[in-house]
Structure 1
Amino acid sequence: MKKMIFILMAATLVACGTSNRINQLSTETLTSKKQRVKLPSSNPTQIAIDVQYLSSDELQGRDTGSKGIELAATYLKERFESLGIEPYGDSYMHPFQTDKATGNNVVAVLNGSDKELMKETIVIGAHYDHIGIIQAVAGDSIANGANDNATGTASVLAVAEMFKKLDFNRRKVVFALFSAEEKGLVGSRELAKQMKVNGENVVAMINFEMTGTPMVGKNYIAYLTGYDTSNMGDIFNKENETRTVTAKLPAAAQMNLFARSDNYAFYEVFKVPSQTLSTFDFTNFNEYHKVGDDITGVNAQHMSQVVDATFPGIFFMANEQGLKLKAMTNE
């Protein structure tokens, strides 16, 4: 069964049909120890559908610049359209060209409702590219990239759908799906730089990366890279009353994962809390950058649980004060 997640609010609200009443509360605090609001749950079936298509053989491993990744970008554009979420700027497609890669980021936006906080932006992102065709194993040469990172992409779509159902976010929320991460964070760096040039006041970036398999022997559902760079982990854990959401994974620090996914591009450009949620713990997935990274290794129910567990913290960051940057670490 889908898990119903609750957060604290200043007035009693019902999950469906509450848009008008929520808007009336747009100048009040959302957190109180007296009242709660139901947040929507994610749809594991839709998550599975998204991962299945993005990691299908038809897309040939989604290498940046390939026909396959163009098909993926069109699919993502159409998914945002189906959710009724507007393009960021004039188009969902944000092209870039560098000496390393040419591609398209796919970007959508929900504008904020608060007259002051709407001037601030949080970015929720994931890369949708992978490495394409590689050396064949048993006749299979397609690196489908199901866990890396169709799962993160599907998670962003699920979060976008939940925000759209709530129809409430004080800050602007940008949903950014990046190309050319595998070429060295190219797409995310280009988008971050362009947003900076355009005067976007980004205050946080939450990235989803490889969330397709449950961690082994952990009492939390996902680790957070760069854990000590901000209090983001504390917010995730405080806002979810039913379980411990996240913690610091020592292996992530040892492998410097903080600087190896698209969160880092936004940290570099905006110097704000910018971190990645992942469940790849180096023991639970053996198909990284291999042809075996296909839909059979993805647990959509687990992915839905990750989205549902982290959404209260994301919702807080879209609506409340309290997220703070700490000192930079080597994580």
Structure 2
Amino acid sequence: MKSIACFSLVLLLVACGAVKMKETDPENIKPIATEGGLFGGSQTTTDGVAPVSSRTVIPFTDFSSSKDVGAIITFLASDELKGREAGSEGIEKAANYIEKIFEDNGIKPFFNSYKDTISNFSKPAYNVVGVLEGNDPNLKNEVVVIGAHYDHIGLISPKNGDEIANGANDNASGTTTVLELARYFASNKLNKRTVIFALFTAEEKGLLGSKDLAKRLKEKNIDLYTMLNFEMVGVALQDKDYFMYVTGYESTNLAEIANDYSGENLIGFLPSAQKMNLFKRSDNYAFHTEFNVPSQTFCTFDFTNFDHYHGVDDEAELMDFDHMALVVNKSIPMVTGIINAPTKEIKYN
């Protein structure tokens, strides 16, 4: 996540986008639920009446384990990778690792190879992009992008002799989540829509990887339904009655839909995320601007539950592997519902 210079250090999170907003700017839409989150699995409308949902709850699956997520994030945040700065030897190792997971699970490269060189960065750097074709003859022509950035900031000023900003929470945790979701959907092949799994480079340089991929996919004229992004999900929220929050919560009905499919209060509203306009500061934003479709980021970092942002102490050993496995397992029902819904249910408010 890239520093937000216009705020104090406590406001640190994700990269700063600087492109135009759609006509209805999420920043100007009022929230339709309180900080307490969403009750009963659906949002409350402005008149206080909860909408009736016909969505079927998708059963929870205990697919990912603390061992599974721990193995991935421990490698990605290891000293060997030296902080995964875009264009470095360390991030090359991370890309090779991601590529191997895709290959082992039968996820095909979206382009000619998994590594797709971006055109807006001075050093050689690439996104890693895989695709799992949908199995429905009609819905497979619609695409859901599931993404996270796998780069970090590399080497920084030493602290107690340590100069490696390992980037476990930011954002090896989100990368781990996407890789586990990819493994799940590749193992059952029940996705009706086509799913692109995208791990972005150069987020820390200004969302460059996601901007490049969004532009290229737009040029290919793909029918993008939605983009679901995962960012800083390595530690659990505290004193909240929801499990994750989503940036741009107030701009779409995504939280309502996610909670309906999961059958629980999975996604809530974090006022500070709205206040700081985090919607514009992660890789979802490039897809929102390029395609004008709902594109949002899931997160469990709320500025109070992790003190090592962009520091040398953002290490894998501080991550909650049990929580990370729950992020994957609790996300599976909502992502399954979204991918397989008969219509494009997620809408801008």
Tell whether the structures are fold-level matches, with TM greater than 0.5.
Answer: yes
What is the aligned partner in structure 2 of residue 260 from structure 1? 281
What is the aligned partner in structure 2 of residue 312 from structure 1? 333
* AA at the equivalent of 1:175: F
SS in 1 for 2:118: strand
Distance in 2 separating the partners of 1:286 and 1:125: 24
Equivalent positions of 1:26-37 (< 5 A) are none
SS in 1 for 2:191: coil
Cα deviation code 1:167-220 (max 9, x no counterpart): 111110000000000001000010010011011111100000000000010111
Name the structure with the higher strand share. Answer: 1
- Aligned equivalent of 1:295, options 290, 305, 316: 316
Distance in 1 separating the partners of 2:161 and 2:62: 43
Distance in 2 separating the partners of 1:107 and 1:158: 15
What is the aligned partner in structure 1 of residue 181 from structure 2? 159
Moved more, 318-327 or 303-312: 318-327
Distance in 1 separating the partners of 2:113 and 2:336: 25
Q: 1:284 to 1:38 in 2, by over 3 A?
A: closer
Distance in 2 separating the partners of 1:36 and 1:181: 33
What is the aligned partner in structure 2 of residue 274 from structure 1? 295
- 1:171 equivalenced with 2:193 (yes/no): yes
- Alpha-carbon shift at residue 230 of structure 1 (Å): 1.2
What is the aligned partner in structure 2 of residue 12 from structure 1? none
Structure 2: state its 5+ residue gaps: 1-53
Cα deviation code 1:74-126 (max 9, x no counterpart): 01000111112111122111111325654110011110111211110000000
* AA at the equivalent of 1:64: A
Q: With structure 1 as the length reference, what TM-score do the two structures score?
A: 0.86
CA RMSD of aligned residues (A): 1.6
Distance in 2 separating the partners of 1:308 and 1:326: 26
SS in 1 for 2:157: strand
What is the aligned partner in structure 1 of residue 267 from structure 2? 246
What is the aligned partner in structure 2 of residue 7 from structure 1? none
- Aligned equivalent of 1:188, options 198, 205, 210: 210
- Alpha-carbon shift at residue 256 of structure 1 (Å): 1.1
- Alpha-carbon shift at residue 146 of structure 1 (Å): 0.3
- More contact order relative to length (CA 8 Å, sep ≥ 6): 2
Work out the number of aligned pairs and report it.
295
Percent identity between matched residues is: 44
SS in 2 for 1:129: coil
- Alpha-carbon shift at residue 44 of structure 1 (Å): 2.4
Report if the CA contact (8 A) 1:62-1:72 is conserved.
Answer: yes
Q: 1:217 to 1:272 in 2, by over 3 A?
A: same
Q: 1:222 to 1:256 in 2, by over 3 A?
A: same
Q: With structure 2 as the length reference, what TM-score do the two structures score?
A: 0.81
Structure 1: state its 5+ residue gaps: 1-30
Report if the CA contact (8 A) 1:101-1:180 is conserved.
Answer: no
